[in-house]
C-alpha cells in the first residue's frame, strides 16, 4: 500500500510544472556546488573584432555548449507535462536557444548595454518577428513550455540573494527599499484597479514598478501563473520608460542640488532596470553610482518575500465556491495545494547559498549561475514572443495598463525623492 501511495504521489509531482521547476533548479544549483558547471559566456562587444572574438574564445564555446546541454536536459523534464515528440522538442529548444543567444549579443553591444536595454526585450521582439514572418508551426507550439523555464530560472535566481550581502548593503538602503516598495506597490495596485486593469496585469505591473522591474514582473507572473502576453507587455513598459528616466533623473538631481548619496539613492530606488541604474548613476560620479547600486540591490532582495506574499494573496483571492455554494475555507491545506512550489525552490536556493555553500564556492559559481538564469529567461521570452500576436499586444487593455504604470512611476519618483532626501542628508 505505501508503495502504491508513493507511486501516486510521484506521478502527481511529475505532472506538476512547479515541482519540476523546483527539482530542476535545485539540481542545477547542487551540481554547481559540487563543481559541475561550465565557464560563463561573455557577450560584451564593441566592434567587429571583439564580436568575432566571442566565437573564437575557448571559454565561450565551452560555455555555450554546456548551457545548450543543460537546457536540453532540463527541457526533457517537460515531457512529463504533456505528450511530445522528443525530436520536435529538441528542434524547438535549439531554435529558441539560437534566438536567445542573438538577443544577448544585441544587448551586449556596448552602446546598447550602456543605456540599460536588457536582453529580454530583444528576446521578446525576435520571437514576435519570427512569428510575424514565418508563423508558428504546430509542432513547435506543442513543444514550447515558457512557464517552466521562467520558474526554473527563478529558482536559480534565488542563489544570488545572499543574506550576508543584504546586511552589508547598509541599513539606510534597506529602510528606503522597504518603505518605497510597500508604498509604491499598494499605490500602483490601487491606481491599476481604479483604471479597471485586470488582476493579473495589476499584480505584475505593481511589482515591476515598485521592486526591480523585469525580474519582479517575471517572479510575479510565475507566482500567479500569469499570462505570458501580459508579462511581455509589462516588461516592454518597464524598458521603454527606463530610458528617458536614465537621462532625466541625473539632470533633475543636479538641478535640485542633491548630494551624491541622495541622488544615487533616488536613482536606485526609482529606475526599474539594473543596467539603467548603473548608467544613470555613472553620469553623476562614483559616489552616486555606489549608493544607486546599494539601493537597487536592496530592492532586488525583496523579490522572494514579494513572491511568497503575492502567492498567498492570489490563493486567497481566487477561492472557489464549494458544492453548497459557500466560499472555500481558508486553511493550510488550501494554501499549500495552490501555492506555487517553485517559490520554495527560490527560498531554498537563497538559504543554501547564504548559509551552507562556502563564500569561495559562491564567488566561483556566481557568473555561471547568472548566465544560467539569463539563458532560461531568454528562452522563456523568445517563447512568449513566438506565442504573441503583435496587434493584440499593442491593444492590450486599451492603454489603461500603460497609464496605470506611468502614474505609479510618477508617484514612485516623488516619494522616493522625499525618502532619499531625508535618509541620506548626511551622505
Helix (H) / strand (E) element for 316: namely: helix 303-317
* pLDDT tens by residue, 319-361: 665 555 555 565 566 667 667 788 888 889 988 998 999 999 9
Average pLDDT over residues 401-414: 94
Residue 5 pLDDT level (bands cut at 50, 70, 90) = very low
d(CA 49, CA 341): 46
d(CA 183, CA 210): 8
Helices (H), 44-85: 48-56, 58-77
Q: In a 10 Å sphere around its CB, with 0-12 CB exposed, 13-18 middle and 19+ buried, how is residue 276 labelled?
A: buried
Q: For the whole model, what pTM was predicted?
A: 0.80
Chain position carrying cell 560620479: 285
User: Which residue ranges make up each domain of the chain?
Assistant: 2-423
Helix %, strand %, coil % for the chain, to 5?
A: 80, 0, 20
Would you state the torsion angle of the CA atoms of residues 186, 408, 389, 19, taken in this order, to the nearest 10 degrees? -30
d(CA 97, CA 104): 11
pLDDT over 70 percentage in the chain: 88
Residue 18 pLDDT level (bands cut at 50, 70, 90) = confident
Average pLDDT over residues 203-230: 87
Would you state the torsion angle of the CA atoms of residues 288, 289, 291, 297, taken in this order, to the nearest 10 degrees? 160
d(CA 177, CA 424): 13
* Measured CA distances, 184 to 190, 237, 396 (Å): 10, 16, 23
Residue 252 pLDDT level (bands cut at 50, 70, 90) = very high
The pLDDT value recorded for residue 106 is 94
Lowest mean pLDDT among 71-75, 127-131, 166-170: 166-170
Amino acid at each position: 500500500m505505501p508503495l502504491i501511495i508513493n507511486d501516486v504521489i510521484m506521478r502527481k509531482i511529475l505532472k506538476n510544472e512547479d515541482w519540476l521547476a523546483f527539482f530542476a533548479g535545485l539540481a542545477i544549483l547542487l551540481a554547481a556546488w559540487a563543481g559541475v558547471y561550465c565557464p560563463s559566456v561573455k557577450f560584451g562587444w564593441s566592434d567587429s573584432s571583439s564580436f568575432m572574438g566571442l566565437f573564437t574564445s575557448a571559454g565561450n564555446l565551452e560555455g555555450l555548449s554546456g548551457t545548450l546541454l543543460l537546457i536540453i536536459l532540463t527541457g526533457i523534464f517537460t515531457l512529463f507535462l504533456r505528450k511530445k515528440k522528443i525530436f520536435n522538442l529538441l528542434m524547438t529548444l535549439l531554435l529558441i536557444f539560437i534566438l536567445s543567444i542573438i538577443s544577448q549579443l544585441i544587448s551586449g553591444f556596448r552602446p546598447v548595454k550602456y543605456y540599460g536595454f536588457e536582453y529580454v526585450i530583444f528576446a521578446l521582439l525576435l520571437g514576435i518577428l519570427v512569428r510575424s514572418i514565418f508563423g508558428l508551426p504546430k509542432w513547435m507550439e506543442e513543444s514550447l513550455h515558457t512557464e517552466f523555464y521562467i520558474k526554473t530560472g527563478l529558482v536559480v535566481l534565488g542563489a544570488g540573494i545572499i543574506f550576508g550581502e543584504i546586511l552589508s548593503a547598509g541599513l539606510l538602503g534597506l529602510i528606503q527599499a522597504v518603505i518605497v516598495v510597500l508604498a509604491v506597490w499598494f499605490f500602483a495596485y490601487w491606481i491599476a484597479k481604479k483604471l479597471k486593469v485586470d488582476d493579473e496585469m495589476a499584480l505584475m505591473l505593481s511589482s515591476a514598478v515598485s521592486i526591480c522591474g523585469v525580474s519582479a514582473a517575471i517572479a510575479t507572473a510565475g507566482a500567479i501563473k500569469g499570462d505570458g502576453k501580459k508579462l511581455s507587455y509589462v516588461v516592454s513598459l518597464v524598458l521603454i520608460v527606463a530610458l528617458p528616466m536614465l537621462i532625466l533623473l541625473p539632470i533633475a538631481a543636479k538641478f535640485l542640488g542633491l548630494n551624491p548619496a541622495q541622488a544615487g539613492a533616488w536613482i536606485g530606488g526609482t529606475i526599474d532596470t539594473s543596467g539603467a541604474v548603473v548608467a544613470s548613476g555613472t553620469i553623476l560620479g562614483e559616489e552616486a553610482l555606489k549608493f544607486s547600486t546599494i539601493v537597487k540591490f536592496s530592492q532586488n532582495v525583496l523579490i522572494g518575500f514579494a513572491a511568497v506574499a503575492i502567492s498567498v494573496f492570489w490563493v486567497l483571492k481566487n477561492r472557489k465556491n464549494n458544492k453548497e455554494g459557500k466560499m472555500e475555507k481558508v486553511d493550510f491545506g488550501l494554501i499549500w495545494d495552490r501555492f506555487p512550489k517553485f517559490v520554495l525552490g527560490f527560498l531554498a536556493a537563497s538559504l543554501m547559498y547564504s548559509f551552507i555553500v562556502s563564500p569561495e564556492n559562491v564567488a566561483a559559481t556566481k557568473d555561471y549561475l547568472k548566465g544560467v538564469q539569463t539563458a532560461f529567461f531568454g528562452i522563456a521570452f523568445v517563447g512568449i514572443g513566438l506565442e504573441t500576436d503583435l496587434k493584440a499586444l499593442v491593444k492590450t487593455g486599451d492603454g489603461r495598463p500603460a497609464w496605470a504604470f506611468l502614474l505609479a512611476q510618477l508617484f514612485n519618483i516623488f516619494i522616493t525623492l522625499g525618502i532619499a532626501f531625508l535618509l541620506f542628508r548626511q551622505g
